[in-house]
Amino acid sequence: MKAEEVRELDNAELGHRLGELKMEQFRLRFRSATMQLENPRLLREIRRDIARIKTILHERRSASDE
């Protein structure tokens, strides 16, 4: 997911997507501890998507505080 795509979503959608990504990250981490993942790079991509969403949410909160 690119930053441009994330910026198009509203805060409610971002919160929902963030929850989904965190659950998927949990499942993948659990699966990687018990067996090999088919695509280990997916963990990195999800972690970066979570960071991207958190950054955009933080920017929006900071902009609304000013």
CATH of domain 3-65: 1.10.287.310
pLDDT of residue 2: 84
pLDDT for 36: 87
CA atoms within 13 A on the CB side of 33: 6
Residue 31, both tokens:
């699966």
pLDDT digit of tens for each residue in the chain (66 aa)? 788 899 999 999 999 999 999 999 999 999 999 988 889 899 999 999 999 999 999 999 998 877
pTM attached to this predicted model: 0.88
Q: Which two tokens stand for residue 64?
A: 């609304």
**17: closest CA among 46, 60, 37, 58?**
46
**CB–CB of 28/46 below 8 Å?**
yes
Token pair belonging to 16: 């929902």
Domain segments of the chain as ranges: 3-65
For residue 3, how many other CB atoms are within 10 A of its CB? 11
